[in-house]
Structure 1
């Protein structure tokens, strides 16, 4: 009986948080894992974490907005599994984000993961097997104020991923979206910084209340390891689902959103309630 081939997973944004947890979880599952990071210092952190976990994880230096760099890494690694995790948040009123910053965010959140998928697909097609895992968020389906550009990236990435899943299914390639709610990964510290930055502005109350809200609900968020386990399952299951929603808060948000959209005056009532709750001007 022949042995199964060793699968190779490429995980972007692997230096911390969910990216690092996913890389380690995939390595524990017996895959060869290559994590991308943006600096040698971050690569050393990944190597140290892998050593502590007792698993091997290779690293490659990559800024996912660098098209040529993406091509070089994919040609070098030739992944069976691609986990598009790299990205960032964008907490700001839509009109406060200048076009250059918005373009960079969309490049990171939308063009980069689809570019990497496009580059990896031919290698997967040659083998007749592949897994593309797109790390999204409940914000890929639900919209809140003061996170518009972040949500725009996730909405667009999910729409493209849904189309891609249908287009490549006949090649033995599965595309899965993992959409967690809140999980513990330093996000509260980032929101605190944003609230401080907007102090004295007309949005000061809204950001202060969001910061307080994040702090209050963080104990109820999903542990990052749980999300990483879902990512690993989506990357290795024989028949993965097209979408995984992770966390009670994510399921609740989607349920409320669907109810509001099906209720004739639901959107107007929701808007008034949200504005009053967080103190928008």
Structure 2
């Protein structure tokens, strides 16, 4: 199928890896960004590698910018749109209690509503041309809820739910909707996670934030390149019968399997122990029962 592939959030991390990988494989790539300078840098990077790609300015959270950028991308693609890769997103760390209403709205606008609204623009074009692909880059957090990033998890859970519905609705028109669930990779997302935690003011969870910021060097220095995600996105775009979901990374596959197999109490205890929510969580995980220091009497049995 001719036409362009539109990659959102293409100037950094996973989006950059996807845009360059697809361009290297001969796709007509159009990357979106909100920043003119970063767009120029991406084009220059592509040229240094002997590649060609275009960019358009688009703020997914702004209706006018989204529509204007989409129209420009469609024009660059000769009126045809082979695929949309919804990758743009933001992190949101902090407990549900500590994240402000505006911050929660921001992450839902960019991670959930923005990709869905872009898909709404793409679907009529793909229907008229007889098909296409929409790949929504979710996360391990799209299936596994984790303390300290609850609003981020909510945005990705929502994106997966809408993607599932869209997959069933659009199939009859030859449009395949695919979810990609990356684990942890070396991107600016992690710097954003830790920076947001460090900026949270007085909190009942301050000890947890201090613990997580203390392990930042260990986490940030050991994460792999996002290139495997780019390869999986290419597979999702080219497979004759793509799967509904592709998980990427050993950590993602292990965590998703554990979420399916472990009892909720055991999974909760493991996650609580990892982020330092309660020392007793580790005891409960190992012993399978509440520790004396929990201080909360069990509910009476019925």
TM-score normalised to the size of structure 1?
0.89
Across the two proteins, how many residue pairs are aligned to each other?
272
- CA deviation map 1:22-51 (0-9, x unaligned): 111111121111111112111111111111
Rounded to whole Å, the distance in 1 between the matches of 2:270 and 2:124 is: 48
Offset of 1:211 from its aligned partner?
3.7
- Secondary structure at the counterpart of residue 80 of structure 1: strand
- Secondary structure at the counterpart of residue 134 of structure 2: strand
| Maintained 8 Å contact 2:2/2:82 | no
Compared CA separation, residues 49 and 160, structure 1 to 2 (3 A) = same
- Report 1:176-215 matches (<5 A): 176-198=178-200, 201-213=203-215, 215=217
State yes or no: 1:52 paired with 2:39: no
Greater shift after overlay, 213-222 or 120-129? Answer: 213-222
State yes or no: 1:132 paired with 2:134: yes
State yes or no: 1:272 paired with 2:272: no
TM-score normalised to the size of structure 2?
0.84
- Report 1:1-281 matches (<5 A): 5-78=1-74, 79-198=81-200, 201-213=203-215, 215-217=217-219, 221-260=223-262, 266-280=263-277
| Maintained 8 Å contact 1:191/1:211 | no
The unaligned stretches of length 5 or more in structure 2 are 75-80, 279-302
Rounded to whole Å, the distance in 1 between the matches of 2:270 and 2:88 is: 33
Compared CA separation, residues 193 and 69, structure 1 to 2 (3 A) = closer
- Secondary structure at the counterpart of residue 94 of structure 1: coil
| Maintained 8 Å contact 1:181/1:221 | no
- CA deviation map 1:187-244 (0-9, x unaligned): 4433442443348643233223334555435566442011111112212322221110
The unaligned stretches of length 5 or more in structure 1 are 261-265
Offset of 1:130 from its aligned partner?
0.2
- Secondary structure at the counterpart of residue 160 of structure 1: helix
Offset of 1:98 from its aligned partner?
1.8
- CA deviation map 1:161-190 (0-9, x unaligned): 011001111111111100010011134433
Compared CA separation, residues 231 and 213, structure 1 to 2 (3 A) = farther
RMSD over aligned CA atoms reads 2.0
Rounded to whole Å, the distance in 1 between the matches of 2:274 and 2:246 is: 29
